[in-house]
Amino acid sequence: MKKYEVAVVGQGPAGLSAAIYTARAGMSTLVLGCEPKVSGDYDIDNYFGFPETITGRELLERGKRQAKRFDVQMRCDRVLGIHPTENEEFEIKTETGKVRACSVILATGVSRIRPGIEDLSEYEGKGVSYCVSCDGFFFRNKQVMVVGEGIFAANQALELTQYTPHVSVCSQGKPLTMTESFQEKLQEAGIPVKQRKIERVEGNDVLERVIYDDGSEEAVDGLFIALGEASSLDFAYSLGVMRNGVFLQVDEEQKTSFPGVFAAGDCVGRFLQISVAVGEGAIAGRSAINFVKKQCREKGKS
Ligand code: FAD
């Protein structure tokens, strides 16, 4: 498995800025992620140094070219999960494989999609979960459902089969975006996929059933939300990183509560602007450099 000193999740301004710093400091750096939302033909009028304005696409292209000049490895690949290993590294599972890293910088922007299910928050921690690796164990041999339409949901459902054979997927009425190979994997594992929409959840003290938009119901003990692609919040849940609502909590050095994991840009929820993302990326990069030197190079792990 390929190993990097720094893995950056996110190819937006925060991630690219962080990678430029780590790579210029001689750290092997991988950036995962695809086209950020701002990489269209939007005029960016308020970013320092461009008096005639610049499009988001051009600004990001310039950032990528700059990062490549310092040997940053870049891949349009989505991260499905991040897990600490026994020797204090991180294993990063993506749609195309796995990599290892000594430190991780989360720069995923704000992409979390709300499922639009009534009363969902009432059952959080009482049947509703956002993290299979945290809560799957509590649903051994129980009836569980994953809400999501993409590879992230498929992967969560397959992970759940470690705990229970009673797993299904509900796309929340969305067309499936998971690849055929993942659909086949679900079929082989005996996991049915429903393209239905859950309107609300019900139970007494704990979750007992979902109610679909046609009024029919289905008994479930656990409902795992995994819409769209995995966000920084999903990684925060599985790593146990402290949060501030839907954002990641960081200190002034962009350190999260998990050693070796840093976060920058919109995912930490300060001022959602490119200039701030770039600045926070630089600080996260510097913190990752210090971490790698102390925790990996001095201990001979790089
Ligand atoms: P993003 O730019 O959102 O990048 C997130 C990255 O994370 C993407 O590459 C994405 O693919 C990746 N990612 C997410 N999940 C995963 C995963 N599971 N695995 C791998 N990668 C993942 N700001 C300004 O300052 N001026 C403006 O004029 C301006 N105009 C804007 C116009 C539009 C239309 C939009 C949408 C935003 C605009 N903004 C503007 C806001 C600005 O774009 C954001 O503040 C900035 O892009 C945040 O940077 P970021 O790196 O934190 O996140």
Domain count along the chain: 2
Backbone angles phi, psi at 127, to 5 degrees: 135, -30
SS3 84: strand
Residue-level pLDDT at 125: 82
Residue 281 lies in a domain: yes
What is the span of the domain harbouring residue 259? 3-111+231-297
80 and 23 inside one domain: yes
CA dist., res. 152 & res. 139, Å (int): 19
Look at residues 172, 203, 225 and tell me which one is the last residue of a structural domain: 225
- CA of residue 273 to ligand 1 center, whole Å: 9
Q: Which atom of ligand 1 is nearest to the CA of 16?
A: 51
99 and 125 inside one domain: no
For tokens 């701030």, the residue is 276
- pLDDT tens profile 260-270: 999 999 999 88
- pLDDT tens profile 217-249: 999 999 999 998 888 888 988 899 998 877 899
Residue-level pLDDT at 169: 98
Please state the rounded mean pLDDT for residues 17-39: 93
Q: What is the DSSP string of 267-300?
A: GG-SS-SHHHHHHHHHHHHHHHHHHIIIIIITTT
Q: Which atom of ligand 1 is nearest to the CA of 14?
A: 51
- CA of residue 272 to ligand 1 center, whole Å: 9
Residue-level pLDDT at 110: 80
Ligand 1 surroundings by CB, under 6 angstroms: 9-15, 32-34, 36-38, 42, 44-47, 78-79, 107-109, 111, 229-231, 265-267, 272-275, 277
ipTM for the assembly: 0.99
Q: Which residue from 44, 108, 247, 283 has its CB within 8 A of the most atoms of ligand 1, so it is best to mutate?
A: 108
42 and 69 inside one domain: yes
Residue-level pLDDT at 124: 86
Q: Which two tokens stand for residue 60?
A: 């990001």
219 and 135 inside one domain: yes
CATH number where 151 lies: 3.50.50.60
239 and 262 inside one domain: yes
* Rounded alpha-carbon distances, angstroms, from residue 162 to 119, 136, 204, 283: 28, 8, 27, 39
> Using 50, 70 and 90 to split pLDDT, how confident is the model at 112?
low
Burial bucket for residue 55 (CB in 10 Å: 0-12, 13-18, 19+): middle
Residue-level pLDDT at 111: 64
160 and 193 inside one domain: yes
- CA of residue 108 to ligand 1 center, whole Å: 8
Look at residues 194, 225, 256 and tell me which one is the last residue of a structural domain: 225
- CA of residue 216 to ligand 1 center, whole Å: 39
- CA of residue 189 to ligand 1 center, whole Å: 36
